[in-house]
Amino acid sequence: MQSQSTGVWKDQALKECPRAVVALAGARDYYQLPLALHEGGLLQALVTDMYWPADRTWFSLGSLLRQELIAARRCPGLKGARVRVPPLALCASAMMKAARSTKLNRYKDKVLSSEARRIAVRERSPLFCYSYYASESFKQSESVKHRFLFQLHPHPESVRSLLLEEAERVPHAKSSLLMEHELLLPAKEFAELASEPHLANGWVVASSFTASTLAEHGVPRDQIHVVPYGVDHNVFATRVEAPGEDQPFTIIFVGSLVQRKGLSYLLDAVRLIRSRKIRVVLCGRGSIDRHLLKQYSDLNLEINTGLRRAELVRRIHEADVFVLPSLAEGFGHVILEVMSCGVPAITTPNTCAPDVMTDGVDGFIVPIRDPEAVAEKICWGIDNRAELAAMGGKAAEEARRFTWERFRVGARQAYREMLAGVR
| Residue-level pLDDT at 340 | 98
Q: For the residues 390-403, what does the mean pLDDT come to?
A: 98
Contact 196, 131 (CB under 8 A): yes
Q: Is the pLDDT of residue 370 over 90?
A: yes
| Residue-level pLDDT at 131 | 95
Q: For the residues 303-309, what does the mean pLDDT come to?
A: 94
Q: What is the DSSP letter of 131?
A: T
| Residue-level pLDDT at 55 | 66
What would you measure as the largest C-alpha separation in the chain, in angstroms? Answer: 67
Contact 124, 179 (CB under 8 A): no
User: How far is residue 83's CA from residue 69's CA, in Å, rounded to a whole number?
Assistant: 17
Contact 329, 254 (CB under 8 A): no
Neighbour tally for 77: CB within 10 Å: 13
Neighbour tally for 206: CB within 10 Å: 25
User: How far is residue 161's CA from residue 393's CA, in Å, rounded to a whole number?
Assistant: 37
- Stated pTM of the model: 0.92
Q: Is the pLDDT of residue 190 over 80?
A: yes
| Residue-level pLDDT at 2 | 44
| Residue-level pLDDT at 307 | 95
User: Model confidence over 86-112: pLDDT tens digits?
Assistant: 999 999 988 887 776 667 888 999 999
What band does 142 get if pLDDT is binned at 50, 70 and 90?
A: confident
Among 371, 381, 376, which Cα is nearest to 268's?
Answer: 371
Q: For the residues 12-21, what does the mean pLDDT come to?
A: 76
Q: Is the pLDDT of residue 170 over 90?
A: yes
User: Model confidence over 280-303: pLDDT tens digits?
Assistant: 999 998 899 999 999 999 998 999
| Residue-level pLDDT at 56 | 61
Contact 130, 204 (CB under 8 A): no
| Residue-level pLDDT at 1 | 39
User: Model confidence over 326-367: pLDDT tens digits?
Assistant: 999 999 999 999 999 999 999 999 999 999 999 999 999 999
| Residue-level pLDDT at 10 | 47
User: How far is residue 196's CA from residue 205's CA, in Å, rounded to a whole number?
Assistant: 13
- Dihedral sign of CA atoms 115, 133, 73, 63 in order: positive
CA end-to-end distance (rounded Å), the chain = 30
Among 51, 10, 17, which Cα is nearest to 37's?
Answer: 17
Q: Is the pLDDT of residue 66 over 70?
A: no
Which residue type, as a one-letter code, is found at position 185? Answer: L
Among 20, 148, 217, which Cα is nearest to 422's?
Answer: 148
Q: For the residues 224-230, what does the mean pLDDT come to?
A: 98
Residue 389 β-bridge partners: none
Q: Name the percent of the chain lying above pLDDT 90.
A: 81
Q: For the residues 391-401, what does the mean pLDDT come to?
A: 98
The larger pLDDT score, comparing residue 113 to residue 105, is at 113
Contact 130, 28 (CB under 8 A): yes
User: How far is residue 281's CA from residue 301's CA, in Å, rounded to a whole number?
Assistant: 6
The pLDDT mean for the chain works out to 91
Contact 353, 334 (CB under 8 A): no
User: Model confidence over 246-276: pLDDT tens digits?
Assistant: 999 999 999 999 999 999 999 999 999 988 7
Q: For the residues 209-221, what does the mean pLDDT come to?
A: 98
Q: For the residues 227-233, what does the mean pLDDT come to?
A: 97
Neighbour tally for 321: CB within 10 Å: 25
Q: What is the DSSP letter of 179?
A: T
Q: Which domains does the chain have, with CATH numbers?
A: 4-230+404-421 (3.40.50), 249-399 (3.40.50.2000)
For 194, half-sphere exposure in the C-beta direction (CA atoms, 13 angstrom radius) is 20
| Residue-level pLDDT at 145 | 94
